[in-house]
Structure formats: structure tokens, C-alpha cells
Amino acid sequence: MSTIELEAGPRGGAPAPAAPPSFAPKSGPRALRDNLARIVMWGAFVLGVIPLVWILVSTILKGGSMLLESQWWTNSQAGITDRRVGGGAVHAIQGTLIQAAVTTVISVPVGVMTAVYLVEYGRGRLARAVSFMVDILTGIPSIVAALFVYALWVTTFGFQRVAFAVCLALVLLMIPTIVRSTEEMLKLVPNELREASYALGVPKWKTIFKVVLPTAFSGIVTGVLLGVARVMGETAPLLVLGPYTPVIVTDLFATNMATLPTMINQSRSENLQPALDRVWGAALTLILLIFLLNLLGRFVGRFSKVKS
């Protein structure tokens, strides 16, 4: 269309426009608006970074000294009141790690297999329903997940509030993250790999197990690590299902277990300096743990065999 008109112009003898009509060089209000927009975007980014830097700096300033004492990493809070300085966070660190590990062990098989189903097997209505339910699970508030486990574990079965119940609530929050990230990685595995495997007579399940999953492995690990990082900071399920305890507990079913978030929650209500120091110390420890997992996840992601 446009080429014809361009040719028709000179041939018909009509005077060609001397200059493009309305697109004067950037000037006046247009240039102003353009520059204004650029400033606003830069400003928005700076504004977004401020809270992050502020939180990190204040946490490091207030909690850093706690982490430098060796007893922080070796002692629990057994026998130490809010008025006394001392003790460590090893009970809470250990609790956080144990619960995260148990949650991961339960969530990974279910999450990965669900993703395998969605990508490799699923068709039709059931696949749509599963995909929709994963979406719902993604959006479920952590307090509702905790409430569900409370309704199941405490009210219906009449069990005590123990560390394992917390893990169940966290599983609910972790499964959708794993499903979504694994799904994304499996989709990136080139179809030629599967077809080559089928052509060699390898059954489908072995193809998935020996070709597809290993190819996507590092990507899946990244997704899992990011999922762990997410549930580690969750506090609501702990508040509902796993009250704080100041001593080291390793039995998941015996009683409740201390974790870093509940340690923060326990000490924050006291207006006493030793307790407040411990809040910031625990907060910094938790942030460091989560950042470390995030970094590790991104690092593993670098070795991914499939590139997006």
C-alpha cells in the first residue's frame, strides 16, 4: 500500500512534501515529557531500592554484633531470660533447617511428578484442572494453609501442635512453586531429545527419567532452592502451629521446635535491650540464610543445560 502511494506521488506531478509534516525534531513539550518520563523511571528504581538497602543496613548494624559472638552459633536460649544477655540461636537455626529439609523432602517428589504430568502426560480436562489448582495453591495465603492444617491436625485428629504439622503447612506453600519452576524447565527441554530417545526404542518413562529430567536437572534444583528460600521466611504457619521453645528439639513429632521467625516473634514484644538485640540477630541470620539459598539457586542455574 504505502509503496504504491510513495511512487504515485512524484509521477502524478504532485509536489513532494518538503519536510516530514508534524515530526519536528524533539523539542518543546515532547522533549520535556520524554525527559520527565526518564527521570520518573530512574526515580522509581531508586525509590524501590531504598527500603531494601534501609532494611539490610539497619539489620546489619543492629544484629551484626550478635552474629560475631561464637556462642550465637553454639548455644541455645535455654535458661536465658529476656533480661539477660547471652545465649545463642543454634536451636532456632537448627529448627529452621530441619523443618525446611523435611518440607523439601515431601514437596519435591509431589511437585516434580505433578510437573512431569502437566508437561509429558497431561491432556484435556484433568490437565486443565490440575493446572488451575496449582494456580489456586500458588495464591493461597500462608495463614489459610496453616489454618487448614490446624483444622486437620489439631481439631479433627486431636493431635498436639508439633513441628511436623508446621512442615505440612509449608508443603502446601512449596508444592506450587516447585511445580511451576519444574514445568518451565521441562518445557525448555528440546523435543528432539525425546524423539531421538523414542526412536532408539526407549520407553517413555525411561526417556523422562533418563533424558528429560537429567537435562532439566540444574533448573529444577534452582526452582527447589528458591522454593525453600520462600518457605523459610514464612512465619504465619509457625505462629499457628509451632509455638516457640527456647531449647534444642530434634524430634519432629514430640513437641514444637524453635525456628528463627518464632524466635524473632518471641523476643520482639519485650522492650528490653537483650531481647531486641536477639530479634535483630535472628533477623539477620534468617536473611543471610535466605540470601544464601537464593544465590546458590542462581549459581546452580548457571549450569543449566537448557537455555531459555
Partner 1 sequence: MSTSITGRSAVDELPGPDGRGPLHGDGAGTGRLGDRLFGGAATASGIFVIALVTLVGVFLVAQAIPALQADQASFLTSREWATAGAEPRFGIVDLLWATVVTAVIAMAIAVPLGVAIALFITQYAPAWLSRPAAATIDLLAAVPSIVFGFWGLTIAGQYFEPVATVIDRALGWIPFFAQPEDGPSAKSTLAFAGVILAIMVLPIVTAISREVFAQVPTAHKEGALALGATQWEMIRTAVLPFGKPGVISAAMLGLGRALGETLAVTILLSSLNDGAAFSSSIFSGGATFASKIALGIQEANTATSTGALIAAGLVLFVLTFVVNAIARVVIERRKAFSE
Q: Rounded to the nearest whole angstrom, what is the least distance from the CB of residue 184 to partner 1 in the complex?
A: 6
Among 144, 193, 252, 296, indicate the residue that binds partner 1 (CB under 8 A). Answer: 144
Q: 196-235 mask for partner 1 (x: CB under 8 A)?
A: --x----xxxxxxx---------x--xx--xx-xx-xxxx
How many Cβ atoms sit within 10 Å of the Cβ of residue 62? 16
For partner 1, the binding residues in 37-96 under the rule CB under 8 A are 37-38, 40-42, 44-45, 47-49, 51-52, 54-55, 58-59
Name which of residues 94 to 123 contact partner 1 (CB under 8 A). 109-110, 113-114, 116-123
Distance in Å, CB of 16 to partner 1, minimum: 18
Q: 53 to each of 57, 58, 276, 281, how far by Cα in Å?
A: 6, 8, 21, 17
Q: Check residue 305 for interaction with partner 1 (CB under 8 A).
A: no
Q: Does 251 bind partner 1 (CB under 8 A)?
A: no
Of 74 and 151, nearer to partner 1 (C-beta) is 151
Q: Which residues lie closer than 8 Å to 95 by C-beta, 6 or more apart?
A: 163, 249, 257, 258, 259, 260
Which distant-in-sequence residues (6+ apart) come within 8 Å of 213 by Cβ? 112, 116, 220
Q: In the bound complex, what is the minimum distance in angstroms from residue 164's beta carbon to partner 1?
A: 17
Lookup: cell for 232: 523459610
Among 131, 193, 211, 255, binds partner 1 (CB under 8 A): 131
Determine the Cα–Cα distance for residues 202 and 205; give it in Å rounded to an integer: 8
Q: How far apart are CA 151 and CA 145, in angstroms?
A: 10
